[in-house]
Amino acid sequence: MADKSKVYKWLDEHTEEAADLLKELIKIPSVNPYFDDEDALKGEGDAQRYLQKYIENMGFRTEFSYPDAQELIEYKDMAGYMADHTFEDRPNLYGELKGSGGGRSIFLSGHMDVVQTGSKWKHDPFSADQVGDTIYGRGTCDMKGGIAAMTIAVKAIQEAGIRLKGDVKIGTVVDEEAGGMGTLALMAKGYRADACILTEPTHLKLAPLCRGILWGKIIIEGQAGHIELKREDWREGGAVDAIDKAAYILEHFKSFNENWTYTKAHKYLPIPCQIKFAQFEAGEYPTTFANHAELTFDAQYLPQEKDEKGLGGKVKKEIEDFVQAIAQTDPYLRENPPRIEWILDADCGETFDTEDFFKVTKKCLTELYPDAVVEGNCAHTDMGWFCNVGIPTLNFGPGDSKLCHQSDEHIEIPEYILSAKIIASTIMDWCMCEDEDGKEG
């Protein structure tokens, strides 16, 4: 039996080295190019090269691969496929550390891209300021913290003189924040393992699922007309207030959401799926009835609701049908039905708690962190494609997801180190270790 305490001890004694790895990654801005930010900050390639060198030094065999929409054409209309995304100097990094044989392999994965800088930072977003035990910077949570933790976890195992039987594979992808084509390409390339940890920030919770996310816009056409004058029959061109119709639709979604509270709950999710309205835009001028209203929403779906393409087609249909049903209750809307413009469908995945990998991970987690809970990720992660190809996958990583995409995103070093210990422990139990004298443990 390998002595895990040596691994933990190494991590405790090398927190600075561990923190430095994270800081170096933060200092190489890797904003996804599909976000509005300075071009100089869009360095996914540089960040990947840094990590590539780092894991090569650990003995990983590495390779870069570039997603290519043309090569991936067979995945058209499936999760993560974006026909117009290009990948110049935007490589996925794959690294493999061979085990001595006879163990199970593991994939450690995360995305290297980060969202735009945004405003209102008190700390420089790319200088990785450390204040006490806190490191600030874009990507500390989402998710260079997780990438650094999984990397340093492997290193700690090596430094403790422990040899794994199963292979360890590291795959860091680009383009997660703008659609997920990096992970699609990684899986399409054929990289596989017996299990996968996605180190998205779960705040040390074990997340065996994530939810699919739909963004859509309900577009309601009204009819303009002078707001201070008497309205004529709309059939004869009279004004129709699009704000009023939009409010009517919003009222109906209350009962719709109430129903989803019961029908779209999951035992590992703290909240049910809902349709949440994020934007309401209507009207142009104070004297004119709004002739157009747009309601932008975020709706979530459960892995069990995925369609044959791994996406939210069924739930889209459900929402579209409901909007049409509302339209049937209003004489004007019946003849002028609102439509939905779909903006995003981010897929999801789930690993059941009956899976060995779930049990192993949960045990390792609880040993080091007795307060740990199992709680699905309410937002999207890239786990869908891993699950689609049959790899049991869990999200587990350091950092509070509420800080993602916010100004002054930060991570606590003790949590970061603890996550590395838990990941190391899981790797050791899953891949299995050789005895220190070379025999099986």
Partner 1 sequence: MDSKQKVYRWIDEHQQDVVKLLQELLQAPSVNPYFDEEECYKKELRAQSVLRRHLDDMGMKTEFQYPDAEKLKEYEGKPGYYADHEFVDRPNLVGILPGEGGGRSILLSGHIDVVQRGSKWLHDPFGGTVEDGKIYGRGAVDMKGGIGAMTMAVKAIQGAGLKLKGDVKIGTVVDEEAGGMGTLALMAAGNRADACIITEPTDLQIAPLCRGILWGKIVIEGRAGHIELKQGDWRDGGAVDAIEKGLLYIRAIKNLNQDWAITKNHKYMTLPCAVNLAEFHAGEYPTTFANHAEIVFDAQYLPREKDENGLGSKVKKELEDFVAAVAQTDDWLKENPPHIEWLIDADCGETLDDQPFFRQAVESARQVHPESGIEGIGFHTDMGWFCNVGIPTMNIGPGNPRLAHHSDEFVTVNDMMTCTKMIASILMDWCEVAE
404 in contact with partner 1 (CB under 8 A): yes
| Cα gap 83→87, rounded to integer Å | 11
106 — phi, psi (to 5°)?
-135, 145
341 in contact with partner 1 (CB under 8 A): no
| 147: Cβ contacts below 8 Å, ≥ 6 apart | 25, 51, 110, 112, 172, 199
Out of 282, 311, 315, 433, point to the residue binding partner 1 (CB under 8 A). Answer: 282
Q: How far is CA 50 from CA 30, 154, 186, 417, in A?
A: 12, 17, 19, 21
211 in contact with partner 1 (CB under 8 A): yes
Q: Give me the least distance between CB of 256 and partner 1, in Å please.
A: 15
Out of 3, 283, 320, 367, point to the residue binding partner 1 (CB under 8 A). Answer: 283
| Cα gap 22→45, rounded to integer Å | 17
73 in contact with partner 1 (CB under 8 A): no
Output 283 or 337, the one with its CB closest to partner 1: 283
**Length of the chain counted residue by residue:** 441
DSSP string, 29-92: -BB-TTSSS-GGGB-HHHHHHHHHHHHHHTT-EEEEE---TTTTGGGTTSTT--TT---TT--E
Catalytic residue among 44, 142, 176, 347: 176
Q: Give me the least distance between CB of 250 and partner 1, in Å please.
A: 6
Q: Which of residues 246-265 bind partner 1 (CB under 8 A)?
A: 246-247, 250-251
Q: Give me the least distance between CB of 116 and partner 1, in Å please.
A: 11
Q: Which is it for the CA torsion 49, 55, 58, 59, positive or negative? A: negative
Question: How many residues form the binding site for partner 1 (CB under 8 A)?
Answer: 46
Q: Give the DSSP letter of residue 204.
A: T
| Cα gap 380→387, rounded to integer Å | 14
Task: Name the one range near partner 1 by CB under 8 A: 48-56, 179-187, 224-232, 356-364.
Answer: 224-232
| Cα gap 173→350, rounded to integer Å | 20
Output 20 or 298, the one with its CB closest to partner 1: 298
Pairing mode of beta strands 196-198, 393-395: parallel
Site string for partner 1, 296-335 (x = CB under 8 A): xxx-x-----------------------------------
Task: Name the one range near partner 1 by CB under 8 A: 24-32, 99-107, 237-245, 424-432.
Answer: 237-245
**Strands ordered across the beta sheet of 92-97:** 61-65, 92-97, 168-173, 106-111, 196-198, 393-395
Output 5 or 329, the one with its CB closest to partner 1: 329
Report H helices in 135-174.
145-159
Q: Give me the least distance between CB of 162 and partner 1, in Å please.
A: 37
Out of 82, 243, 340, 389, point to the residue binding partner 1 (CB under 8 A). Answer: 243
138 in contact with partner 1 (CB under 8 A): no
Q: Is 89 an annotated catalytic residue? A: no
Output 215 or 322, the one with its CB closest to partner 1: 215
Cβ-contact 92, 185 below 8 angstroms: yes
Output 72 or 246, the one with its CB closest to partner 1: 246
| Cα gap 398→416, rounded to integer Å | 5
Q: Give me the least distance between CB of 397 and partner 1, in Å please.
A: 16
Output 379 or 389, the one with its CB closest to partner 1: 379
Write the burial class of residue 285 (CB in 10 Å: 0-12 exposed, 13-18 middle, 19+ buried): exposed
Q: In Å, how far from its chain's centre is CA 366?
A: 24
- Single out the residue of 268, 129, 150 nearest to residue 200, CA to CA: 150
Q: Which of residues 359-388 bind partner 1 (CB under 8 A)?
A: 378-379
Q: Give me the least distance between CB of 279 and partner 1, in Å please.
A: 3
Q: Is 305 an annotated catalytic residue? A: no
Output 72 or 282, the one with its CB closest to partner 1: 282
- Single out the residue of 49, 316, 315, 311 nearest to residue 180, CA to CA: 311
Q: Give me the least distance between CB of 426 and partner 1, in Å please.
A: 25
Out of 284, 341, 353, 435, point to the residue binding partner 1 (CB under 8 A). Answer: 284
Catalytic residue among 113, 142, 159, 400: 113
List residues near partner 1 by CB under 8 A.
211, 213, 215, 225-230, 241, 243-244, 246-247, 250-251, 270-271, 276-290, 293, 296-298, 300, 343-344, 378-379, 401-402, 404-405
Hey, which residues are catalytic here? 113, 176
